[in-house]
Amino acid sequence: MMMTALLGTALVWAAPAAPPFPQNVLVNQDKLRIRQGETTQAVDPADPQRRVAAWINYGPGDTVTIGTALTTDGGQRWRSQTVPNPPGLQYAADPVLAVDSRGTFYLTTLGYNLTGGFFADESMFLYRSVDGGKTFALINDLTIYASPDKEWIAADPVTGALHLVWSGNLPGVGSGIFYRTSLDGGTTFSAPVLLSDPRYYQSIYSVVSIGPGGELYVTWFDFGLSNAIWLDRSLDGGRTWLSRDIALERRLHYAEPPDINPGGPANAVDRSNGPYRGRLYVVYPDARFGSIDILLRYSDDRGDTWSDPVRVNDDAPGNGAAQFLPWINVDDAGAVHVTFLDRRGAADNLSFAVTLATSTDGGASFGPNIRASDRLLPYNPSADFLGDYNQMIVAGTSIHPIWSDSRRGDTDIFTQAVPLADFDSDGILNDGDGDGQYADHRCTGGLTAGCDDNCPGIQNARQEDADGDLVGDACDNCPTAPNTDQSDLDRDDIGDACDAG
């Protein structure tokens, strides 16, 4: 297959002169002119057109609140609102959305005050929407521990059980990653269980996902003593867990530039009926090749053993461009989709684009990365707020990245629907030859049918490829000389094969 594996052939991605998609859609419809970021989404399983998004509002005034928005047309139009903070709390943080099989949406948030510059009254809350995401009501104060951070919630699509994980401290138990479950729609929760080894008390970025048999997988990052990514699992709905956590990545090279947060690990499970059903995937930022890349590992035995890492982004290794804030999802056909923020086209090393990478062979390799944002996005590290995660989802026949950027002067929330079968909607399918693989037989030599789109992120219905390198002229960074690898070490949007400087 002509796809990208770890340090393998780099493929298509050059900053196009024209927008590769229709104009990105603004999600927050307020006129507050405040910083907004750290995005999460959920989709009604019975209605893929109904989607809810949430994020952090830095305002109005000297407050931090949570914003939510609802779309009922697949993301073209949104209606947004602010969720009031619980009484007595000035600040909110870390929104996470989930939805059950009945279309009930759940929202977890953190709350806190600042006293003398220090955090105080740190809390965690659960909201619920029974009207399809129009409104959210506070139903549970989950504060029974100290210093909660980076919580995550997921709903079992079969049983409706809610599974909650977070980083915190419980007096008499220790610090690390905790777990609770609710079997009654969030009204009550089980007693907290410490999942992580108490020696690794600097554990954070826990995410929980649910396998096709109801298996629970929780991954997190310890940036302290172990400097590793860890996994715990439960095969009985959260009643019991492993006696010893599994380190799926011990050679983590976690670099944190002064102007961005690279993010943490995210995971997903293949619940499809395809050949990789049950495969567990984890993506994470890692700088082992000289700059921050997005790497992926997968497991076919419920996390006992793991593949070697696969490099997801397909720019030249070690080119100085950071890729960060990854998220992962698996669609109903078993294709793996990863989104991340991407500086490969940024001469100022500050701007970024939103990039999508897709694998149709179970994460063994990734096809040409495409740009989901309609432009290179400005970034001011002293003013803009990107958050710690951007939860992309798959809904219906489209992938839905979501993010924040400051194209309007302050950071707002944007999204883009990317069709699963034809990323750029030019009529040439990603898998035009119908063999189930993306970009393995790309159009060239004047062919436009029975072959895969040779430039899947930019509309090019004629599939022109003057140099015959299987990269369409519409996105080829050196269209006069064959350069299938599209290497561009100096990141000037001119391929090395054509670059005299």
In whole angstroms, what is the distance from residue 147 CA to residue 152 CA?
A: 15
Q: What mean pLDDT is predicted for residues 402-427?
A: 95
- Dihedral sign, CA of 371, 376, 380, 383? negative
Letter for the amino acid at 363?
G
pLDDT of residue 439 exceeding 60: yes
Provide the percentage of residues in the chain whose pLDDT is more than 90. Answer: 81
Nearest CA to 284 out of 313, 264, 267 is that of 264
pLDDT tier at 20, thresholds 50, 70, 90: low
Specify whether the backbone of 263 is left (phi greater than 0), alpha (psi in -120 to 50) or beta: left
**Average pLDDT rounded to a whole number, residues 199-205:** 92
Provide the sign of the torsion angle of the four alpha carbons 179, 181, 186, 190, taken in this order. Answer: negative
Rounded Cα–Cα distance for residues 320 and 376 (Å): 17
16 — pLDDT class (breaks 50, 70, 90): very low
* Contact residues for 216 (Cβ-Cβ < 8 A; gap 6+): 163, 208, 209, 210, 233, 234, 235, 237, 238
Quote the CA–CA distance of 127 and 106 in Å, as a whole number: 6
Contact 155, 97 (CB under 8 A): no
Domain boundaries, the chain: 25-419, 432-491
CB 27 within 8 A of CB 401: no
Confidence of residue 14 (pLDDT cuts 50, 70, 90): very low
Among 120-124, 294-298, 429-433, 453-457, which is the least confidently predicted range?
A: 120-124
pLDDT confidence band for 221 (50 / 70 / 90): very high
pLDDT range class, residue 119, cuts 50, 70, 90? confident
Whole-structure pTM value: 0.94
Q: Does domain 25-419 have CATH number 2.120.10.10?
A: yes
Whole-angstrom distance, CA of residue 352 vs CA of residue 391: 17
Q: What is the pLDDT of residue 31?
A: 82
User: Cβ distance 341 to 352 under 8 Å?
Assistant: yes
C-alpha dihedral (73, 388, 295, 430), degrees to nearest 10: 20
pLDDT greater at residue 149 or residue 301: 301
**What are 411-420's pLDDT values in tens digits?**
999 999 999 9
> Are 11 and 358 within 8 A, CB to CB?
no
Spatial separation of the C-alpha atoms in residues 167 and 411, rounded to whole Å: 27
Give the residue with greater pLDDT, 305 vs 485: 305
Dihedral, 70, 71, 76, 78 alpha carbons, nearest 10:
-30
Output DSSP code: residue 84: P
**Residue range 231-236: average pLDDT?**
98
The residues facing 341 across adjacent strands are 324, 354
pLDDT tier at 21, thresholds 50, 70, 90: low
- What integer best gives the mean pLDDT of the chain? 92
Say if CB 279 and CB 299 are below 8 A apart. yes
CA-based radius of gyration for the chain: 22
pLDDT bucket at 324, cuts 50 / 70 / 90:
very high
256 band by pLDDT with thresholds 50, 70 and 90: confident
